[in-house]
Amino acid sequence: MITAIINCFAMPTPLTSRHVAVIGAGAAGLVAARELRREGHEVVIFERETQIGGTWVYDPRAEPDPMSLDKNRSIIHSSLYSSLRTNLPREVMGFRDYPFISIADKTRDSRRFPGHREVLFYLRDFAREFEIGEMVRFETEVVHVGLVEDSNKWKLRYRKKRSEVDAEAETGDGFDYDDEIYDAVLVCNGHYTEPRVADIPGISSWPGKQMHSHNYRVPEPFQDQVVVLIGGSASAVDISRDIASVAKEVHVASRSVANEKYEQQPGYDNIWLHSMIESVHEDGSLVFRNGRVVQADIILHCTGYKYHFPFLETNGIVTVEDNRVGPLYKHVFPPVLAPSLSFIGLAWKVVPFPMFEFQSKWIAGVLSGRIALPLQEEMMEDIEDFYRSLEASNFPKRYTHYMGDSQFDYNNWLAAQCGCEGFEEWKKQMYYATSKNRQVRPDTYRDEWEDDPLISEANQDFILKGFANSLISQDSGLNGQSESHEKLSRI
């Protein structure tokens, strides 16, 4: 009886506070740092650039190698083009307790589908609100991360550019290097910098120019040219229409269309959609699988990116093969190295910011000991089952981290692990409504929509989460703007 009474009043197991390194100060790194600190961890964010934002920091420069295949090239981190607007409404994009609301300020973009600059402002606001900037070391590039021998800790080597030439410096490359030891490392370096390119028969002798969309910024260099663009995703759709304003012809080749496909795009007299390229030739001609032949000036690869972690050394435990990062339990933890190593943001075809938040909550709770992971063997079995399901569904290996519709069940699974509410149903329905509208109105879906009831539901949800005052009443007219926009302020 005495033992039972003592157990009733036993103190809960204290949570473990760990020294954690976060690599990257983009959206994933920022929300990871917030969740880690909320859980009681000590956090340092390493950011090689001069500001936060990651891929949302627009850089008008392009890399010297237009295909970005030279491993020794000067790397530009961002792949943003000047005209880019979000392809998701701002209501869906925001973090759970910091909605991406419209701000009544002439310097801000109040549109429901804002340009990239507004997303960067939102991330800056988020970092300021939660005092994340004090955790960031800017212009500090991580060059190596490896396990400390006979321990579960990680040695992280980083470099900072020297302000002056030092004749007695350890290296002559203009950088100072230093090492630090961490209990855990979160990899949040993004995956929109290292391009994938299409394999085209005959390309070695084709006389035209090639570039990857990573280096596309503005359409003016394509004035009066015949451009063949490869790709079928969001960037291909946007860039083809951007270039069409100045180019002579734009031909879009996509693996996702039938071999006989050939059609002019509605609303344009100079864009055609084709099946994939069959071959290219020394005379400058390009042959599609539908049999059409064009004389092209340039091939623009909108063909996606590779997962790339040049700084990470795991002795072969974590590999990248055909764009599969693995083995990873639920796209986050390598079982052998869990929980001291984790990845955030590998999934694609998703609503990114909310997923980053769920993943971050999970990782923070696991590191503190509040949330338990399965045994290593159980995690490996789960991964192998997942891989077998992909094979059974004829999903190629490179689609391992593709989610699409499965993202909502995944987010809800993460939420259940963390003991928090799942992905909001109105967000899910708004995501589907936007996808449907994008198919019907590919050129105007950002400014014309029919989901006003969902907008009202979103605003009510924002009120319940602590945001009030004048909620934005979006107009479903052509410009999609409300008559008045006032900042939502915290109660």
- pLDDT tier, 12 (very low <50, low <70, confident <90, very high otherwise): low
Count how many domains the chain has: 2
- Is residue 184 situated within a structural domain? yes
Reply yes or no on whether the pLDDT at 11 is more than 80: no
Reply yes or no on whether the pLDDT at 170 is more than 80: no
- pLDDT tier, 481 (very low <50, low <70, confident <90, very high otherwise): very low
Reply yes or no on whether the pLDDT at 451 is more than 90: yes
- CB distance 449 to 434 below 8 Å: yes
Indicate whether 31 and 159 sit together in one domain.
Answer: yes
Reply yes or no on whether the pLDDT at 490 is more than 80: no
Residues ≥6 apart with Cβ < 8 Å to 89: 112, 113, 430, 434, 449
Indicate whether 405 and 310 sit together in one domain.
Answer: yes
Q: pLDDT tens digits, residue range 252-272?
A: 999 989 999 999 998 999 999
Reply yes or no on whether the pLDDT at 200 is more than 60: yes
Indicate whether 328 and 251 sit together in one domain.
Answer: no
**Residue among 377, 317, 375 nearest 341 (CA):** 317
Is cis: bond before 339, omega within 30 of 0? yes
Locate all alpha helices (DSSP H) within 329-465, ordered by sequence: 352-368, 376-392, 407-418, 425-440, 452-464
Rounded Cα distance between 190 and 26, Å, is: 8
pLDDT at 488: 36
- Is residue 474 situated within a structural domain? no
- pLDDT tier, 246 (very low <50, low <70, confident <90, very high otherwise): very high
Indicate whether 211 and 233 sit together in one domain.
Answer: yes
Token pair belonging to 392 = 């059974």
pLDDT at 466: 81
- Is residue 145 situated within a structural domain? yes
pLDDT at 60: 97
**Residue among 429, 422, 489 nearest 453 (CA):** 429
- pLDDT tier, 491 (very low <50, low <70, confident <90, very high otherwise): very low
- Is residue 107 situated within a structural domain? no
What is the DSSP-derived secondary structure letter of residue 350? Answer: S
Max avg pLDDT among 14-18, 74-78, 377-381: 377-381
- pLDDT tier, 148 (very low <50, low <70, confident <90, very high otherwise): very high
pLDDT at 104: 85
pLDDT at 478: 31
Pick from 377, 402, 418: which residue ends a domain? 418
Indicate whether 320 and 357 sit together in one domain.
Answer: yes
Average pLDDT over every residue of 429-457 = 96
Indicate whether 285 and 374 sit together in one domain.
Answer: no
Rounded Cα distance between 86 and 113, Å, is: 5
**Residue among 312, 317, 315 nearest 143 (CA):** 312
What is the DSSP-derived secondary structure letter of residue 7? Answer: H
Rounded Cα distance between 437 and 440, Å, is: 5
CATH of the domain at 345: 3.50.50.60
Indicate whether 213 and 264 sit together in one domain.
Answer: yes
- Is residue 125 situated within a structural domain? no
Reply yes or no on whether the pLDDT at 473 is more than 80: no
Pick 86 or 469 by higher pLDDT: 86
Q: pLDDT tens digits, residue range 40-60?
A: 999 999 999 999 999 999 999
Give phi and psi for 212, each to the nearest 5. -105, 150
pLDDT at 48: 96
- CB distance 219 to 247 below 8 Å: yes
One-letter amino acid at 385 equals: D
- pLDDT tier, 165 (very low <50, low <70, confident <90, very high otherwise): low
Residue 159: Cβ within 10 Å count: 19
Reply yes or no on whether the pLDDT at 306 is more than 70: yes
- Is residue 295 situated within a structural domain? yes
Domain that includes residue 248, residue range: 203-301
Average pLDDT over every residue of 174-192 = 96
Indicate whether 368 and 387 sit together in one domain.
Answer: yes
Indicate whether 350 and 381 sit together in one domain.
Answer: yes
With tokens 């809800």, the residue in question is 412
Pick from 301, 325, 356: which residue ends a domain? 301
- Is residue 104 situated within a structural domain? no
Residue 308: Cβ within 10 Å count: 16
- CB distance 186 to 359 below 8 Å: no
pLDDT at 163: 78
With tokens 């005052």, the residue in question is 469
**Average per-residue pLDDT in the chain?**
91
Pick 372 or 168 by higher pLDDT: 372
CA torsion sign for 327, 27, 33, 422 is negative
Rounded Cα distance between 25 and 5, Å, is: 49
pLDDT at 113: 98
Indicate whether 295 and 309 sit together in one domain.
Answer: no
Rounded Cα distance between 90 and 78, Å, is: 21
Indicate whether 213 and 165 sit together in one domain.
Answer: no
- Is residue 13 situated within a structural domain? no
Reply yes or no on whether the pLDDT at 417 is more than 70: yes
End-to-end CA distance of the chain: 49
Is cis: bond before 327, omega within 30 of 0? yes
- pLDDT tier, 166 (very low <50, low <70, confident <90, very high otherwise): low
Indicate whether 368 and 324 sit together in one domain.
Answer: yes
- CB distance 23 to 77 below 8 Å: no
Pick from 387, 418, 449: which residue ends a domain? 418
pLDDT at 169: 60
Average pLDDT over every residue of 58-81 = 94
- pLDDT tier, 140 (very low <50, low <70, confident <90, very high otherwise): very high
